């Protein structure tokens, strides 16, 4: 006869070597923030982002600009960890509803579950597995001709960076993947095997303004048939730039730019942004507000160009003329906010 669940032997968690957990999977306190709130708050107080979580950037500015009101309909086109969504929901209830889009099938159900536990039911919040490039189609299927506000926080979430199994970071070894939706498309490893050396160099220049693109592309091509891990890619960049007599700091920055450029290419991020910008006016009600957070010049230039053209043609009544940056306090407490640029527009 089976023992009652209350009598089952306690299962100890897997131990880690040393005095502190280092591997992502060992950070059991940070990966269970609801149970270890004090420990997680201590991590945040150091200016760090707890493993497996994401700290929303420019949260106060986003809420102030979107000015959510009870009964309004909102879209968070990049749901992520749900930090912006949580605060928007508090403002549009009662009577409002928010649709949260995310292309990541790994993180989307986790965020939906957290928001449900916090009391946001299906009448208030709906999670939608979709790339924001398809926002217009998503709204059409939902029977919505337009919404009151749209938020798009571009780039990558901390949860994706922290998990080495996703292949987004050079700080830990993992499969060279980088897909936000690991169920579709080709990994970074396969992309590098397919592209010519010239196209890899162009990708590094276009997506990350990498000045040593040619040298890095050449080093990658020499090793790409066996390049299946992030460690192998990182080593290729280091090999290329050590020969070019770059400093350790310069190599680290170039490595970060290389990963950024590949991630953008693997996920078609710029083409997805172009689709979103083209569809935004038809997705907003008259007087509807949109806020977009960008993290590099390729994104920001597209947003600026689209908003300025919309203002000139009368599509937008107002736009943000100058970029809004994270405050000095936020940049200090959350270093990942240093590169953000906030832009907004209001539908005519």
Residue-wise pLDDT tens digits, 180-219: 999 999 999 999 999 999 999 999 999 999 999 999 999 9
| Predicted structure pTM score | 0.83
Taking only the tens place, the pLDDT of each residue in 227-243 is: 999 999 999 999 999 97
Domain ranges of the chain: 59-158+269-347, 182-266
| Across 108-137, average pLDDT | 97
Query: What is 182-266's CATH superfamily?
Result: Putative methyltransferase TM0872, insert domain (1.10.150.170)
With a cut of 70, say whether residue 29 has pLDDT above it: no
User: Per residue in 64-117, pLDDT tens?
Assistant: 999 999 999 999 999 999 999 999 999 999 999 999 999 999 999 999 999 999
What is the C-alpha to C-alpha distance for residues 270 and 266, in angstroms, rounded to an integer? 11
pLDDT band at 62 (very low <50, low <70, confident <90, very high): very high
Taking residues 158-164, report their average pLDDT.
87
Q: What is the pLDDT of residue 33?
A: 56
Query: What percent of the chain has a predicted confidence (pLDDT) above 90?
Result: 78
Q: CATH top-level class for 59-158+269-347? A: alpha beta
Instruction: Tell me what the mean pLDDT of segment 311-327 comes to.
Output: 95
**Average pLDDT of every residue of the chain:** 89
Can you say whether the dihedral through the CA atoms of 228, 183, 156, 35 is positive or negative?
negative
Share of the chain above pLDDT 70, in %: 84
């Amino acid at each position: 006869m089976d023992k009652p669940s209350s009598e089952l032997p306690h299962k100890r968690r897997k131990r880690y070597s040393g005095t502190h957990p280092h591997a992502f999977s060992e950070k059991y306190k940070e990966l269970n923030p609801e149970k270890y709130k004090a420990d997680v708050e201590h991590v945040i107080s150091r200016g760090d982002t707890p493993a497996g979580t994401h700290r929303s950037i420019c949260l106060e500015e986003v809420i102030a600009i979107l000015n959510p009101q009870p009964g309004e309909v909102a879209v968070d086109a990049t749901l992520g960890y749900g930090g912006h969504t949580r605060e928007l929901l508090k403002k549009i209830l009662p009577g409002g509803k928010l649709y949260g889009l995310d292309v990541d099938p790994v993180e989307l159900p986790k965020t939906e579950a957290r928001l449900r536990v916090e009391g946001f039911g299906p009448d208030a919040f709906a999670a939608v597995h979709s790339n924001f490039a398809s926002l217009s189609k998503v709204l059409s299927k939902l029977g919505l001709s337009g919404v009151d506000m749209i938020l798009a926080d571009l780039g990558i979430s901390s949860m994706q960076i922290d998990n080495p199994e996703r292949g987004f970071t050079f700080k830990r070894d993992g499969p060279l993947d980088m897909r936000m939706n690991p169920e579709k498309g080709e990994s970074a490893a396969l992309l590098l095997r397919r592209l010519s050396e010239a196209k890899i160099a162009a990708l590094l220049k276009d997506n990350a303004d990498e000045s040593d693109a040619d040298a890095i592309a050449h080093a990658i091509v020499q090793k790409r048939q066996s390049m299946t891990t992030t460690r192998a890619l990182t080593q290729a960049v280091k090999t290329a730039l050590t020969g070019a007599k770059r400093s350790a700091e310069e190599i680290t920055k170039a490595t970060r730019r290389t990963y950024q450029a590949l991630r953008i290419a693997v996920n078609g991020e710029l083409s997805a942004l172009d689709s979103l910008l083209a569809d935004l006016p038809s997705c907003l009600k008259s007087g509807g507000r949109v806020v977009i957070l960008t993290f590099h010049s390729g994104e920001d230039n597209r947003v600026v160009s689209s908003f300025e053209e919309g203002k000139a043609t009368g599509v937008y009544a107002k736009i943000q003329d100058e970029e809004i940056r994270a405050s000095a306090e936020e940049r200090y407490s959350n270093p990942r906010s240093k590169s953000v640029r906030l832009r907004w527009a209001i539908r005519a």
